[in-house]
């Protein structure tokens, strides 16, 4: 009987781990956790490459934020891996203007944002919030330093804020700061991701607890507020959702759309005038796209009071919805039948082995 049970266990492993015959396995992209994600599409009308990073050191740009002191300047940094603890200021041609080296041990830098800091001056916040171990770190950290008035290479000892999650550790790549009150939010990167709010008053020396306040899109890779705080965006590898945050967070979704195709898109930011998004990707000399919100047909915050579209009220509309639902069921039929077949084989094998035992 013991041998029979071992054979059943082996069969379970093979059947459940092998790909279905009709599904051609994809080679996973490096750094995507073993999953080959969609890469987006053409993007909204008017989308164009704003610039490409010229600095070969910027090979895994994972965060992007506009300067609050210097017009036309953007801050970025590399993801985890064999990189130095450096933050880069680049111009609108993608040229590096300054390198700020932080005297800290980096784990997994995933986001950068600018806001008024504790000193009342424009401040750069770097989110060391990634966790490829799915919650293995006991806490996460956000480093911050006053944005330099003169862009030149320098070495700094940043201040450190420490955070823990109220519901246990998790991986995250999105961080955004409300410019109206300086409140920090972290967006986790999960199947059932969440938006987590930091306390209104932060303890600069102890641990600050992040509280879940909303859900987030599947596998969010970055997030950002608009300059006036009335909107925020949460992006994934392939698209972005815009939220009206006039009444703070959680906001109300006002639209979602695909972003231009990118190898591994991990950064998003609003342009200073709020008319477009800047979206970047990892890779050497990687492009940063400018995506106009007008082209995406996303309403501005003034449209939030318009009534929502009602449910289908005619027989024709209802029939169309029914066809869509039927198509979804038909499209899922191979997966359902495949699962049933596997279950039948397993049950029959277990029964046969039990009789033999």
- Give the mean pLDDT of 143-151: 98
Confidence of residue 37 (pLDDT cuts 50, 70, 90): low
Can you give the residue ranges of every domain in the chain? 2-30+316-356, 48-305
Q: Is the pTM higher than 0.85? A: no
Strand order through the sheet with 96-102: 61-66, 74-78, 86-90, 96-102, 154-156
- The answer, yes or no, to whether residue 337 has pLDDT greater than 80, is no
Q: Is 328 helix (H, G, I), strand (E, B) or coil?
A: helix
In the chain, % of residues over pLDDT 70? 72
Residue 274 burial (CB count, 10 A) = 16
| Mean pLDDT of the residues in the chain | 80
Q: How do residues 261-278 score in pLDDT, each as one tens digit?
A: 998 999 999 999 999 999
Residue 147 burial (CB count, 10 A) = 20
Q: How do residues 174-231 score in pLDDT, each as one tens digit?
A: 999 999 999 999 999 998 999 999 999 999 999 999 999 999 999 999 999 999 999 9
Q: How many Å apart are CA 216 and CA 71, to the nearest integer?
A: 31
- The answer, yes or no, to whether residue 7 has pLDDT greater than 70, is no
Does domain 48-305 bear CATH number 3.40.710.10?
Answer: no
**CB within 8 Å of 20: residues ≥ 6 apart:** 335, 338
């Amino acid at each position: 009987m013991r041998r029979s049970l071992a054979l059943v266990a082996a069969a379970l492993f093979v059947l459940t781990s092998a790909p279905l015959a009709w599904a051609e396995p994809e080679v996973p992209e490096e750094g995507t956790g073993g999953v080959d994600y969609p890469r987006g599409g053409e993007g909204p009308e008017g989308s164009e490459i704003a610039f490409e990073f010229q600095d070969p050191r910027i090979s895994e740009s994972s965060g992007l934020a506009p300067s609050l002191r210097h017009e036309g300047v953007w801050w970025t940094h590399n993801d985890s891996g064999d990189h130095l603890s450096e933050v880069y200021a680049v111009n609108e041609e993608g040229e590096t203007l300054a390198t700020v080296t932080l005297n800290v041990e980096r784990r997994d830098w995933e986001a950068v944002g600018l806001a008024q800091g504790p000193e009342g001056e424009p401040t750069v916040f770097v989110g060391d919030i990634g966790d490829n171990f799915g919650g293995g770190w006991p806490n996460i950290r956000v480093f911050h330093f006053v944005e330099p008035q003169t862009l030149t290479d320098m070495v700094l000892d940043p201040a450190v804020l420490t955070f823990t999650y109220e519901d246990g550790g998790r991986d995250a790549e999105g961080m955004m700061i409300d410019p109206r009150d300086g409140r920090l939010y972290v967006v986790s990167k999960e199947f059932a991701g969440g938006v987590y709010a930091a306390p209104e008053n932060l303890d600069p020396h102890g641990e600050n607890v992040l509280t879940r306040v909303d859900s987030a899109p599947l596998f969010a890779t970055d997030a950002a507020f608009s300059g006036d705080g009335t909107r925020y965006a949460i992006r994934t590898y392939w698209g972005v959702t815009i939220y009206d945050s006039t009444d703070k967070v959680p906001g109300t979704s006002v639209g979602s759309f695909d972003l231009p195709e990118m190898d591994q898109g991990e950064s998003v930011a609003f342009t200073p005038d709020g008319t477009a998004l800047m979206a970047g990707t990892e890779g050497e000399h990687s492009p940063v796209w400018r995506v106009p919100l007008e082209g995406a047909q996303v309403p501005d915050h003034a449209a939030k009071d318009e009534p929502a579209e009602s449910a289908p009220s005619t027989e024709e509309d209802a029939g169309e919805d029914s066809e869509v639902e039927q198509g979804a069921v038909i499209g899922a039929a191979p997966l359902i039948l495949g699962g049933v077949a596997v279950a039948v084989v397993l049950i029959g094998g277990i029964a046969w082995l039990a009789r033999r035992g």
